[in-house]
Structure 1
Amino acid sequence: MKKVIAIVGPTAVGKSALGLKLAKKYQSEIISGDSMQIYRNLDIGTAKDSPQELREVKHHLVDICDPDTRYTVKNFQERAKKIIIDLNEIGKVPFVVGGTGFYLSSLINNLNLGGKSDSDVKLRQQLQDLADNDEISVLQTRLKNEDPLAFEKIDIDNPRRLIRAIEVFETTGQSIAKQNNGDQWAKFYLIGLTDDRPKLYERINQRVDKMVEMGLLDEAKYVFDHRESFVQAKNAIGYKELFPYFEGKDSLENCLVEIKKNSRHFAKRQFTYFRNQMDVDWYNISDDKNYQKKIENNIEKFLGGHNG
């Protein structure tokens, strides 16, 4: 049985820092579980590790696509599974680090995500038109009526997740939430980091301020200038909120407030998703000063004494 360790939790809680520390300790490698870090040249808004950190520990599924490339959960699942298998074969248990819940779910539950054969081009275009016209509520209502199970399980504020769930149900008659191959191909240990909400929200606010200092506006302007072709990247938190500023419709101050607000809402949704959908060992980084030592002890138990 292959083994995988995953570090999950809300944005800005410290997943990347912990992943780096543990990957070094166990002489292993990191697989990014973030849906936006795959894109080249989008570094600040996606909160990638620094170039030095990327060199210190080998990272997979970072900077593998140009921003105009469409990247699906199925693409992630196929590549991540191969990396996990290859690393296990040479005695390394990889660390999957990231906050995209459905990405991790596709690995843990071995979801059968189908291929092009289950995708109707006209249907996808119809659904995409609704998303492009900010008719998210229409998509949400459609999914709730057709597939209430998926409506409860996926991130319904993410138009791509909505489109995919509706598409799967209408083309296969099955809920995407039930598409499980049934075979446990790997054993996962899920480490969840959390914090008291006020402290987490303050850290999110500080992260946004730091991103601005690092050049977020230039990066967001790059996305804005290519928004017609950057179909997925243009919807990322940290970019889309700045579009009104570039269009001269709102102040920079208001747009940054919107980034912070949306980031806080996203963090809340992430925690809810991981808490409700997955078997996670949670560690409150403020309440428990020895949380890292406890995590390492539990990793040792999971590995059975194996240290890479």
Structure 2
Amino acid sequence: MRKVVAIVGPTAVGKSALGLKLAKKFNGEIISGDSMQIYRHLDIGTAKDSPAELAAVPHHLVNICDPDQRYTVKDFQARAKNVIKELSEQNKLPLVVGGTGFYLSSLTNNLNLGGQSDSNSQTRKELMQLEQAGQKKQLQEILQREDPLAYEKIDIDNSRRLIRAIEVIRTTGQSILKQHNGQKWADFYLVGLTDDRPKLYDRINRRVDQMVESGLLDEAKYVYDHQDNFPQAKNGIGYKELFPYFAKKATLDDCLTEIKKNSRHFAKRQFTYFRNQMDVDWYNISDDNNYQAIIEQKIIKFIGGHDE
């Protein structure tokens, strides 16, 4: 059975650094689980690893699409499974780093996402028209009515996930959260990093400040100027909050405060999802300075190997 390690947790908690260390120790390669790091030219707001880090260890599902392309959980699942199978055949350890609970669940639970997605279907067209008209609330009401289970669990502020969930319930008659195909295809060890809330929020706030120093405004302006052609990127945290500033409707400080607030809220939602929906081995990075060594020992046991 293929062995896969996944590292989850809120932004700025140290997932990427841990992933790089584990990849080097265990002859592994990194698979990004992030739905935005796939896009070329969007580096700062998506918190990609640096060019040196990307070169130090092979990374997959990073910089594979242009910002005007759509990318679904089904696309992620198919690509990630292929990479995992290829790495396993090469006796390398696949390390899925970052990403949302639903993305990771599509892998660990081998979700059946309703067959080939038809972007020209009438249902998709109708739902896309609502999204383009800014009718997110109507999409939320449709999902709440047709699939209340998914409405309670998925990120209902994400229009594309609303659309996909509605498509699945209408196509299969089952909630997208129940689309298991019953076939276990890999063993997963899920490592979760977290921190005490005040420290975590401080980390998130400092991460946003660092992004600004690194050129976030220029990158967000690029997305703002192309928002009609960037259907997913324009909704990314770190970009959309700056649109009022570029439109001269808000101050920069107010917009940065909004980025920090939304980042903190997203971190809280993700922690709740992983804690309640998935079997994650959590480590509070402030509680034990030796947590990385403990994780390494557990991975050795998980993969059935021996420490050299």
TM-score bucket of the superposed structures, by smaller chain: over 0.9
Tell me the residue number matched to 2:156: 156
- Is the 2:23–2:93 Cα contact (8 Å) retained in structure 1? no
Contact kept in structure 1, 2:39 and 2:65, CA below 8 Å: yes
2:298 aligned partner? 298
**2: CA distance, partners of 1:276 / 1:96:** 20
Q: Percent identity?
A: 74
After TM superposition, give the deviation of residue 208 of structure 1 in Å: 0.4
The answer for the alignment partner of 1:58 in structure 2 is: 58
What is the CA–CA distance in structure 1 between the aligned matches of 2:276 and 2:225, rounded to whole Å?
38
**Alpha-carbon distance in 1 for matches of 2:139, 2:85:** 37
- Count of residue pairs brought into register by the alignment: 308
Distance 1:96 1:306 in 2: 22
Q: Which amino acid aligns with 1:289?
A: N
Query: 2 CA distance for matches of 1:219 and 1:188?
Result: 35
Give TM-score, length-normalised by structure 1: 0.96
- The alpha carbon displacement at 1:137 in A equals 2.9
Give the deviation of 1:126 after TM superposition: 2.7
Q: In 2, Cα distance between the equivalents of 1:257 and 1:232?
A: 22
- Compute the displacement of 1:119 (Å): 6.2
Counterpart of 2:281, as a letter, is D
How big is the shift at 1:117?
Answer: 5.7
The DSSP-based 3-state class of the residue aligned with 1:155 is coil
| Residue deviations 1:164-214 (CA, integer Å, cap 9, x gap) | 111111232121111111000000000000111111111000000000000
**Pairs within 5 Å for 1:39-58:** 39-58=39-58
Q: Which residue of 2 aligns with 1:6?
A: 6
Verify the 8 A CA contact 2:114 2:172 in the aligned structure 1.
no
Contact 1:119 1:167 in 2 (8 A): no
Bigger mean CA deviation after superposition, 3-12 or 143-152: 143-152
Q: Aligned pair 1:75/2:89, yes or no? A: no
CA gap of 1:64–1:307, structure 2 versus 1, over 3 A, is farther
> After superposition, what is the alpha-carbon deviation per residue over 1:261-281, rounded to whole angstroms, capped at 9, x for unaligned?
110001001111111111000
Aligned amino acid, residue 157 of structure 1: D
What are the equivalent positions in structure 2 for 1:135-284 lying under 5 Å apart? 135-284=135-284
Contact (CA 8 Å) 2:244, 2:250: kept in 1 or not? yes
State the alpha-carbon separation in 2 of the partners of residues 164 and 117 from structure 1: 9
Within 1, Cα distance between the matches of 2:180 and 2:32? 22
* Counterparts of 2:120 and 2:307, CA distance in 1: 47
For residue 212 of structure 2, what is the amino acid of its counterpart?
A: V
Partner of 1:97: 97
* Matched residue type, 1:185: W
User: Is the Cα contact below 8 Å between 1:12 and 1:203 reproduced in 2?
Assistant: yes
Shift of 1:131: 3.0
More off after superposition, 35-44 vs 288-297:
288-297
Asked if the contact 1:81–1:107 (Cα under 8 Å) also holds between the matched residues in 2, the reply is yes
CA contact (8 A) 2:3 2:187 kept: yes
SS at match of 2:35: coil
Q: Corresponding residue for 1:109? A: 109
SS of the counterpart of 1:94? Answer: strand
SS at match of 1:66: coil
Deviates more, 1:105-114 or 1:167-176: 167-176
Give the drift of 1:99: 2.5
TM-score (norm 2): 0.96
Structure 1 window deviating more from structure 2 (46-55 vs 102-111): it is 102-111
**What are the ranges of 5 or more consecutive residues in structure 2 without an aligned counterpart?**
none
Greater shift in the superposed pair: 115-124 or 93-102? 115-124
Shift, 1:152, TM fit: 2.5
Give the CA deviation at 1:120. 6.5
Offset of residue 16 of structure 1: 0.6
Deviation of the 1:238 alpha carbon: 0.3
Uncovered stretches (5+) of structure 1, i.e. residues with no partner: none
> In the superposition, relative to structure 1, how do residues 268 and 117 fare at CA in structure 2: closer, same or farther (>3 Å)?
closer
In 2, Cα distance between equivalents of 1:206 and 1:11: 11
Name the SS of the counterpart of 1:140 in structure 2: helix
In structure 2, do the counterparts of structure 1 residues 307 and 4 end up closer, same or farther at CA, with 3 Å as the change threshold? farther
Paired AA for residue 106 in structure 2:
S
Shift of 1:115: 3.8
Tell me how far 1:289 sits from its aligned partner: 1.7
- Mapped to 2, the partners of 1:37 and 1:16 lie a distance apart of 13
Asked whether the equivalents of residues 30 and 94 of structure 2 are also in contact (C-alpha less than 8 Å), the reply is yes
Between the aligned partners of 1:298 and 1:21, the Cα distance in structure 2 is 15
